[in-house]
């Protein structure tokens, strides 16, 4: 049985760091409020002219280098983003060009903060089905471009960045001791549009629009839906919380992350947390966190890693993989 195995990872954060104190000079907020409610201390913001594809290319180049691969070894690029460079073409095709890749296919997946888990589900199906052997999966966002910088309820929560995983189809036994992606589960419920959306777009307002959110409503659903997605991953693999070595959740809010860790009975040091330094980078948050933990040696071969996310739509999902 074919399994999607991670053979390299990479990430990129814009150089400009904006602290909570700096934001407090622009909107009525405070470092204390932001830290207490979210755990966020700072975020990276893309430079003028720096586009989502620039971030994605930098992360992808690192992932390719980590795996010792060339761009033309890749069959498929899946780029998860809700902040594409342009309405079309897909940011993934700009990444393809930027990497010097002249073969295969490239497209975007849009599921907001669940985008990376959705993208992983897509890439995993291509690899397990034999339609691609090597897939580059990227989460890349410039949410700073769609924030209403006068809305203190949202502008303090997000940041820019990109992360990438290079996946290759490898042989497995078909059981949970295999290396690679063991399962993915994705869900959506469009009834919750109004809780989290962007009030613009090519076919509605013909503008880009700004992010709008009912924070409390999102928080309430996030805890419930992300817990359900964890249960789906465990039950599909005949595992219990004690089998999980690492939880790498979408990084929106420290309180949501800790609630998920508690549900799994995981010691705090088994939660991979970057929200304090990156804030919420939407589809980029999970691969940014994974790359950090992979590079600092936290993940060992054979570790069971659970990914869990929820975002606008609502969309939500989980993935279980063995490193
Ligand atoms: N600074 C100071 N005060 C603020 C700020 C701010 N930046 N933002 C809001 N407030 C005020 C509000 O105006 C309100 O004041 P009022 O009581 O006088 O009306 C008060 O703080 C409480 O506001 P709430 O929105 O009820 O605060 P809450 O405790 O729910 O925290 C937060 C808000 C942090 C947004 C929380 O609801 C949350 O994290 N929700 C999840 C949102 C999220 O993560 N979205 C990301 C996308 S989806 C995802 O990734 C899961």
Give me the catalytic one of 113, 210, 221, 253. Answer: 113
Cα(215) to centroid of ligand 1, in Å? 5
Asked if residues 34 and 253 have their Cβ atoms less than 8 Å apart, the reply is no
Residue 157: what pLDDT? 98
Cα(14) to centroid of ligand 1, in Å? 25
Residues of the chain under the 50 pLDDT cut? none
Residue 81: what pLDDT? 99
The pLDDT tens digits for 162-211 are 999 999 999 999 999 999 999 999 999 999 999 999 999 999 999 999 99
Cα(255) to centroid of ligand 1, in Å? 12
What residue ranges line ligand 1, CB within 6 angstroms? Answer: 29, 33-34, 37-38, 113, 152-153, 156-157, 196, 213, 215-216, 218-219, 222, 250, 252-253, 280, 310-311
Asked if residues 158 and 311 have their Cβ atoms less than 8 Å apart, the reply is no
Residue 190: what pLDDT? 98
Cα(221) to centroid of ligand 1, in Å? 14
Ligand 1 atom with minimal separation from the 152 CA: 7
Residue 205: what pLDDT? 98
């Amino acid at each position: 049985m074919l399994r999607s195995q991670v053979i390299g990872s990479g990430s990129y954060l814009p150089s400009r760091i904006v602290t909570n104190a700096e934001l407090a000079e622009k909107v009525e907020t405070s470092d204390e409020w932001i830290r207490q409610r979210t755990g966020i201390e700072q975020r990276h913001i893309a430079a003028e002219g720096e586009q989502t594809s620039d971030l994605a290319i930098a992360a992808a180049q690192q992932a390719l280098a980590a795996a010792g691969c060339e761009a033309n070894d890749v069959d498929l690029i899946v780029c998860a983003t809700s902040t594409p460079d342009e309405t079309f073409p897909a940011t993934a095709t700009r990444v393809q060009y930027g990497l010097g890749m002249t073969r295969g296919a490239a497209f975007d997946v849009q599921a907001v903060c669940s985008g990376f888990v959705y993208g992983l589900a897509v890439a995993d199906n291509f690899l397990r089905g034999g339609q691609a052997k090597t897939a580059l999966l990227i989460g890349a966002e410039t949410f700073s471009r769609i924030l209403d910088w006068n809305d203190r309820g949202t502008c303090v929560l997000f940041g820019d960045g990109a992360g990438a995983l290079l996946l290759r189809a490898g042989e497995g036994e078909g059981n949970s001791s295999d290396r690679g992606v063991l399962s993915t589960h994705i869900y959506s419920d469009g009834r919750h549009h109004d809780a989290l959306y962007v009030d613009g777009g090519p076919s509605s307002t013909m503008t880009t629009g700004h992010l709008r959110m009912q924070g409390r409503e999102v928080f309430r659903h996030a805890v419930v839906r992300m817990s359900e997605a964890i249960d789906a991953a465990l039950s599909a693999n005949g595992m219990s919380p004690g089998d999980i070595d690492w939880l790498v959740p979408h990084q929106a809010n420290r309180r949501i992350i800790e609630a998920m860790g508690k549900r799994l009975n995981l010691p705090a040091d088994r939660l991979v947390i970057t929200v304090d330094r990156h804030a919420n980078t939407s589809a980029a948050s999970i691969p940014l966190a994974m790359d950090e933990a992979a590079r600092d040696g936290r993940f060992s071969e054979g570790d069971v890693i659970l990914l869990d996310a929820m975002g606008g739509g609502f969309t939500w999902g989980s993935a279980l993989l063995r490193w």
